[in-house]
Amino acid sequence: MTYCGIVSIAGRPNVGKSTLLNRLIGQKLSITAHKPQTTRHSILGIQTVGERQVVYVDTPGIHVTGKQRLNQVLNRTASSSLHDVDVVILVLQAMVWNDDDKRAFELVSNSGVPFFIAVNKIDNIRKKEEMLPYLGTLPTHENLQGVVLISARKGSGIDSLEEQIGKFIPEGPWRYGEDELTDRSARFLASEAVREQLTRLLSAELPYALSVEIETFEESADLLRIGAVIWVDKPSQKGIVIGKGGAQLKEVGSRARATLETLFDKKVFLECWVRVKEGWADDERALRSLGYDNQ
Ligand SMILES: Nc1nc2c(ncn2[C@@H]2O[C@H](COP(=O)(O)OP(=O)(O)OP(=O)(O)O)[C@@H](O)[C@H]2O)c(=O)[nH]1
């Protein structure tokens, strides 16, 4: 007898959803960075243990504010990931409950799907008893199945979370092969690796205004040749990405290359270019052409 189910990981930006997904899958699939809103796609991570296969969907952070079309598309993707799933994990950050968390709670509880709250980053809390009043203030709902305290970074509470989710995974045939970890293409993972480094290395403002497109992806027996275009919003941003004497872009390239060599277990030759696509954050058609609306 086999079991197979879809679990959505929801929550406002920066609560640690991608870190949790990576922890659950045990491999680096979804990008993580210190700045909020780094996840733009729903990434499937697949975990097959014993008879049970769990397909995790990583949603972009749900948030209230933001006028640009990009934010609207992000929110739409987030809500669509909440339907047709077996269970949702709503991730919160320990001791924090703000308007965006409230909005995320509303979206999740209105989806009609059973859900758990995972209170993350508990490694930041020295005295655990300080959390009791906080936990007491969290809202309840008939679909809420339980609250689990976790540290996605350190790995604590993850076993308990998996065990509780497991009860909601229905009987059924597996959707993916036993060894598959993601349904995302190698190209997609390559673009995410470049974007992750850009988000880490650049100043807070810029990453929202850029996207990465893989132009060439050639695989031979012992080498992967990847050509990545980094699209920015304004000519002024081009220089920032490239950095003095090209130092920044070189650093991005060499770090992303290291990630990709581990991921693909192969030597990688990575070339990055920066090009300007003006006003793209406001242009939904341009967004689609870059793959942001492909759910
Ligand atoms: N101390 C601590 N930090 C964590 C933990 N989990 C995640 N973080 C940090 O929180 C930040 C955001 O983590 P992400 O996993 O990128 O968050 P996200 O919710 O996927 O963010 P978006 O992609 O913006 O929606 C990163 O700096 C993580 O290292 C945790 O358990 N403990």
The contacts of residue 135 (CB under 8 Å, 6+ apart) are 119, 147
Ligand 1 atom 6 nearest Cα? 16
Beta bridge partners of 289: none
Rounded to whole angstroms, the Cα distance separating 205 from 139 reads 33
* 38 neighbors 207 (Cβ within 8 angstroms): yes
Rounded to whole angstroms, the Cα distance separating 262 from 260 reads 5
Q: In what order do the strands lie in the sheet with 267-276?
A: 211-219, 223-232, 267-276
Which is more confident, 184 or 220? 220
pLDDT-based confidence at residue 283 (cuts at 50, 70, 90): low
Residue list, annotated binding site for GTP: 11-18, 58-62, 120-123
**Does the pLDDT at position 284 exceed 50?**
yes
Ligand 1 atom 2 nearest Cα? 121
Helix or strand (DSSP H, E) at 4: strand 3-10
Residue 172 Cα to ligand 1 middle (Å): 32
123 touches ligand 1 (CB under 6 Å): yes
5 touches ligand 1 (CB under 6 Å): no
Residue 17 Cα to ligand 1 middle (Å): 6
Domains located in the chain, CATH noted = 3-166 (3.40.50.300), 186-289 (3.30.300.20)
207 touches ligand 1 (CB under 6 Å): no
Which residue among 23, 29, 32, 34 is best mutated to probe the pocket of ligand 1, counting the most ligand atoms within 8 A of its Cβ? 32
Residue 208 has a pLDDT of 66
Q: What is the pLDDT of residues 47-104, one digit of tens each?
A: 888 999 998 876 655 555 444 454 555 555 555 556 678 999 999 999 999 998 998 8
Model pTM? Answer: 0.69
Residue list, annotated binding site: 11-18, 58-62, 120-123
Q: What is the mean pLDDT of residues 232-236?
A: 84
Residue 151 Cα to ligand 1 middle (Å): 10
- Packing angle between helix 186-201 and helix 247-264, nearest 10 degrees? 140
**Does the pLDDT at position 270 exceed 90?**
yes
5, 89, 131, 157, 254 from 12: Cα distances, Å:
23, 12, 20, 20, 31
ipTM above 0.95, yes or no: yes
114 touches ligand 1 (CB under 6 Å): no
Q: Which of 27-31, 45-49, 58-62, 169-173 has the highest mean pLDDT?
A: 169-173
Positive or negative, the Cα torsion across 164, 170, 171, 174? negative
Which residue among 153, 156, 197 is best mutated to probe the pocket of ligand 1, counting the most ligand atoms within 8 A of its Cβ? 153
104, 201, 204, 279 from 235: Cα distances, Å:
36, 19, 18, 11
Ligand 1 atom 27 nearest Cα? 34
Least confident of 72-81, 119-128, 199-208: 72-81
Atom of ligand 1 nearest to the CA of 124: 1
